[in-house]
Amino acid sequence: MIVCRSKAEIEKLRRVNRLVARILADIRRMAVPGATTREIDAAAEALVGEAGAVPAFKGYHGYPATVCASINEQVVHGIPSNRRLAEGDVLSLDIGAKLDGFFGDCAVTVPVGRVSDDAVRLLRVTEEALFHGIEAVRPGVRVSDIGAAVQRHVEAHGFSVVREFVGHGIGTALHEEPQIANYGPGGYGPRLAEGMVLAIEPMVNRGGPGVKVLGDGWTAVTRDGSLSAHFEHTVVVTLDGCEILTLLEDDASRVRERMGAAVRS
């Protein structure tokens, strides 16, 4: 069953999602050459705690940290460590938190210093693909219309979509129904309705779509070693589209310029 949230519940979801978006905006600035992902994780954990919230990933099936920090060919679920970021890396930061019984979840991939033109293009296309997915969201469309929009954009630019991980409903649990694949034909799955809350999170590889999980049981990497990017927003379905709960006003104007007026926060 997919839950449709009440106005009061949506307000709580707004608060926690805005919180994770703000924290992500803070910690992404720490992604500079020489920094370790453990330092970034520690800062995130402190900010979550100061806000009276609880990290959502820490302890989830034994995951050991507040953020996922995935570097270069790491797709998602990289564990923060003492590895130092280097000029030219790309870093995906994913953060989730729980506040007042409700969950927030968002992710971004950022360049570390100056990165290759290829990396810039991969990041741009992945974030655009996320917004194409978001633009597909409105009452009456089917869940798979989201993934179809994502995949179309990604493949039009010669990149590939990861199949093994999906977006998800979110609310009083981090992962609720439905699962939201980032590929496949449109027109399938449940119809969206006002009040549904969805975390949409495409993962895009420079090379082939294949991924494997490393021996730590968490870190997913591309099979061919190619670069990977990941962006995530949590949205609530509204009467005529959706509201992005994790989009800060600063970011909204930047995205609007690129994607058009449809983007609302």
Query: Minimum distance from CB of 117 to ligand MF3 (Å)?
Result: 28
User: Using CA atoms, how far apart are residues 4 and 176, in angstroms rounded to an integer?
Assistant: 12
The partner residues of 148 in beta bridges, in order of sequence, read: none
Q: Judge contact between 204 and 152, C-beta under 8 A.
A: no
Query: Minimum distance from CB of 174 to ligand MF3 (Å)?
Result: 6
State which of positions 107-136 bind ligand MF3 (CB under 6 A): 107
The reply to whether 233 sits near ligand MF3 by the rule CB under 6 A is no
The reply to whether 220 sits near Co ion by the rule CB under 5 A is no
The reply to whether 232 sits near ligand MF3 by the rule CB under 6 A is yes
Vertex 75: Cα angle to 32 and 229 (nearest 5): 60
- In 65-195, which ranges are continuous DSSP H helix? 117-135, 144-156
The reply to whether 63 sits near ligand MF3 by the rule CB under 6 A is yes
Q: Judge contact between 148 and 186, C-beta under 8 A.
A: yes
The reply to whether 176 sits near Co ion by the rule CB under 5 A is no
Query: Minimum distance from CB of 220 to Co ion (Å)?
Result: 13
Which listed range, 56-64, 97-105, 146-154, 178-186, lies at the site for Co ion (CB under 5 A)? 97-105
Q: Which residues touch 1 (CB under 8 Å, ≥6 apart)?
A: 177
Which listed range, 15-23, 56-64, 126-134, 257-265, lies at the site for ligand MF3 (CB under 6 A)? 56-64
Instruction: Count residues near ligand MF3 (CB under 6 A).
Output: 12
Give the residue among 47, 83, 77, 42 at the shortest CA–CA distance from 63.
77
Q: Which is nearer to ligand MF3, 104 or 209 (CB)?
A: 104
Torsion sign across C-alpha atoms 146, 150, 155, 156: positive
**Residues 41, 73, 105, 127: which binds Co ion (CB under 5 A)?**
105
Q: Judge contact between 102 and 54, C-beta under 8 A.
A: no
Residues within the interface to ligand MF3 (CB under 6 A): 57, 60, 63, 68, 77, 94, 96, 105, 107, 199, 201, 232
Residues within the interface to Co ion (CB under 5 A): 105, 199
